[in-house]
Structure 1
Amino acid sequence: MKVVSTSPSFGMYSNEPIEYLNDHGIELVRISDGAPTSELFSELADADAVIVGYTEINQSLLEHSPNLKIVCKHGVGYDNIDLEATRRKSVWATNVPDGNKMAVADYVFGLFFSLARNIPQANTLTKDGEWPRIIGTEVYGKTLGVIGLGRIGKEVVRRAKGFDMNILAFEPYPDVAFAEENDVTFTELPELLIQSDFVTLHMPLNEQTKNLIGAEQLNIMKKTAYLINVSRGGMVDEDALYAGLSEKKIAGAAIDVFLKEPVTNHPLFTLPNFIATSHIAGYTYEAINNVGMTSVRNIVNVLVKGERPTQVVNQL
């Protein structure tokens, strides 16, 4: 049995997932995410499973993978997987929604503090020989708007309670019990944007959420508000954000995900009230190992044990 991995982080920081495959007699072949299509198709010709990061899983790829039984997204978002195509080919598609939720929620607060206290600027200026007195704002006691109250959004809420934040949430499928237990108030998106001091996005990218935050939304936010996106590039209109930050419509923004990645140059990078990071919110040793182990357990369940995998996203 053979597994092809195009994920750049699978098994890179812990051997446990690779050893698990070896223990069950499964060969692992790594391919760079940017490898030529011919190389990918060649390796997939006799592959039983594939682990993907950003590789597009589409009809063409599936046609070149006659033995494929399962596609595992090495992460949460699976918008790069054509679910209908996998259903037609009777190929399981899975993701790992819980594997990095703690890491991402921690990272969100790291960005809150970085924006509110201008930590990146203070670091740069101090190392340049200056001794700046930079005035920031506190996170404690502020109003937090959480757009998407799923697994990660809920972890952000749990952390926010420790800072005595007033918590608002926009969620199409509200978990009322969780909200009552954690003092979360559900509201519509415009009201959340109007009231919040910090806004963080935690929704999947689809036709309904594409450019969810654009010029109209930025215009109704507080001028002192901060926007964070560690969810998916494309949910924030980057041109509108550039204009909004340039015109001081909001105080600042931090983005870990971009419409096109990797990004080496972007107009947003020129702005002092913008923080950019390289899609690393979920990158901790613990999270990557958790995601890897969940992926390989699903592969073994299907290929070796003949069982249904967990966290199925295409429902065969």
Structure 2
Amino acid sequence: MSGTVLVTSRSFGSGGLDLERRISDAGFHVVRAGAAHELDELGPVLGDAVGWIAGTGPVTERHLSLAPHLRVVARYGVGYDKVDVDAAARRGIVVTNTPGANTSAVAEHTVALLLAALRGIPAADRRVRRGDWSAWYTREVSALTVGVVGLGRIGRSVIDRLAGFGPRVLGADPWVPADDPLFDRLERSDADAFATECDVVTLHAPGGQTVVDERWLAASDRPVLLVNTARADLIDEAAVAAALRRGRVLAYAADTLATENHGEGASPLLADDLADRVIVTPHLAAQTREGVDGMGGMATENLLAVLSGEPPVNPVPVP
């Protein structure tokens, strides 16, 4: 086997596994490029690539049209909403992902963001550094109602971790049947109802939809804390920023923004006047040693399987 394998994930191989060596030992030349997937940068590499370990950037028909030898796009992570799976299928390109590899990492980060936002920890730290030791009261998780949008692996893992705090938990996912055993330990609801029932809403649904928008926020009857470790487009950022200023949103904690990797204007959520109530991390929820090794190992196995003519363990279904 021979050819070029393009790697555009920032953290691929940064854990305990020497994944580039595994690919090189299989006879391939590894080339790394930026996570934003800019066509000007990737074009020359895609012309020779037979495999692509893709990060969070888009994989469009234009990208694929520049890659006549490409046989596999191995997504480093579970989400593949930014990959044009139809276009790949038309070209005979297999798309894979890494389900479950980062579940624990993302679930832990979700709970960390929830607690940090609820208790105002980053804002408190900044105040102390200015010599301000004034305090304010917050809430306890056990006294709250938490709504979980998306009941896949990560959503369920978040629910498991919240159980120790003892809140009332509601779950919303139209793809999960009502007789799923999960609903023996939480209440089934829908995302619209969360506006009037929940103190905290945490988002774990696929991208391509907006859950929290002006309509949802207008229906909300209490200050709500929003957590998003899934996809930026699940919320209307401008609407949430405005709701933060009105006091309709208590705090927003996220691991992604709509401007991520694009170099565009700053998100309205990064305005200085919102700094005490907005927490954003740079898409690092999955970046634990265990999560990085899990995603990287699975992506590598999927890629090498396809390039050796074998079926991958984790193919993405063609719509």
TM over 0.5: yes
Q: Within 1, Cα distance between the matches of 2:139 and 2:41?
A: 52
Is the 1:169–1:192 contact (alpha carbons within 8 Å) kept by the matching residues of 2?
Answer: no
- Higher mean C-alpha deviation, range 71-80 or range 25-34: 25-34
| Structure 1 residues 37 and 253: alpha-carbon distance in aligned structure 2, compared to 1, 3 A threshold | closer
Report the number of matched residues: 311
* Residues 169-228 of structure 1 deviation map (CA, whole Å, 9 limit, x = unaligned): 1101115333145x121112222221111100111112xx2x221112122334232111
Displacement of 1:56 in angstroms is: 2.9
Query: Which residue of structure 2 aligns with residue 158 of structure 1?
Result: 160
Q: Does 1:302 find its partner at 2:302?
A: no
- Higher mean C-alpha deviation, range 78-87 or range 272-281: 272-281
Displacement of 1:81 in angstroms is: 1.1
| Structure 1 residues 3 and 178: alpha-carbon distance in aligned structure 2, compared to 1, 3 A threshold | farther
Query: Which residue of structure 2 aligns with residue 267 of structure 1?
Result: 268
**Within-5 A mapping of 1:149-188:** 149-175=151-177, 176-181=179-184, 183-188=185-190
Displacement of 1:24 in angstroms is: 2.4
| Structure 1 residues 222 and 35: alpha-carbon distance in aligned structure 2, compared to 1, 3 A threshold | closer
Is the 2:303–2:312 contact (alpha carbons within 8 Å) kept by the matching residues of 1?
Answer: yes
SS at match of 1:96: coil
Query: Which residue of structure 1 aligns with residue 212 of structure 2?
Result: 213
Give percent identity, aligned residues only.
Answer: 31
Q: Does 1:65 find its partner at 2:64?
A: no
* Residues 81-100 of structure 1 deviation map (CA, whole Å, 9 limit, x = unaligned): 11110010011011112111
Q: Does 1:249 find its partner at 2:260?
A: no
Query: Which residue of structure 1 aligns with residue 192 of structure 2?
Result: 190
| Structure 1 residues 36 and 197: alpha-carbon distance in aligned structure 2, compared to 1, 3 A threshold | closer
Displacement of 1:39 in angstroms is: 4.5
SS at match of 1:234: helix
- Higher mean C-alpha deviation, range 260-269 or range 72-81: 260-269
Q: Within 1, Cα distance between the matches of 2:307 and 2:220?
A: 50
- Higher mean C-alpha deviation, range 62-71 or range 228-237: 62-71
Q: Which runs of 5+ in 2 are unaligned?
A: none
Q: Within 1, Cα distance between the matches of 2:183 and 2:58?
A: 40
Q: Within 1, Cα distance between the matches of 2:72 and 2:63?
A: 13
Is the 2:37–2:57 contact (alpha carbons within 8 Å) kept by the matching residues of 1?
Answer: no
TM-score by length of 2: 0.90
Amino acid at match of 1:112: L
Is the 2:72–2:95 contact (alpha carbons within 8 Å) kept by the matching residues of 1?
Answer: yes
SS at match of 2:141: coil
Is the 2:237–2:268 contact (alpha carbons within 8 Å) kept by the matching residues of 1?
Answer: no
Amino acid at match of 2:212: I
SS at match of 1:140: helix
- Higher mean C-alpha deviation, range 139-148 or range 264-273: 264-273
Q: Does 1:280 find its partner at 2:284?
A: yes
**Within-5 A mapping of 1:124-163:** 124-163=126-165
Is the 1:86–1:314 contact (alpha carbons within 8 Å) kept by the matching residues of 2?
Answer: no
Is the 1:13–1:288 contact (alpha carbons within 8 Å) kept by the matching residues of 2?
Answer: yes
Displacement of 1:36 in angstroms is: 6.0
SS at match of 1:71: strand
Displacement of 1:283 in angstroms is: 1.5
SS at match of 2:303: helix
Displacement of 1:312 in angstroms is: 1.6
Is the 2:119–2:139 contact (alpha carbons within 8 Å) kept by the matching residues of 1?
Answer: yes
Computed over aligned residues only, the root mean square deviation of the Cα atoms, in angstroms, reads 2.0
SS at match of 1:41: helix
SS at match of 2:227: strand
Query: Which residue of structure 2 aligns with residue 232 of structure 1?
Result: 231
SS at match of 1:84: helix
Displacement of 1:35 in angstroms is: 7.1
SS at match of 2:5: strand
Q: Does 1:91 find its partner at 2:90?
A: no
Q: Which runs of 5+ in 1 are unaligned?
A: none
* Residues 242-290 of structure 1 deviation map (CA, whole Å, 9 limit, x = unaligned): 1111001122211221122147733322213222222222221211111
Query: Which residue of structure 1 aligns with residue 316 of structure 2?
Result: 313
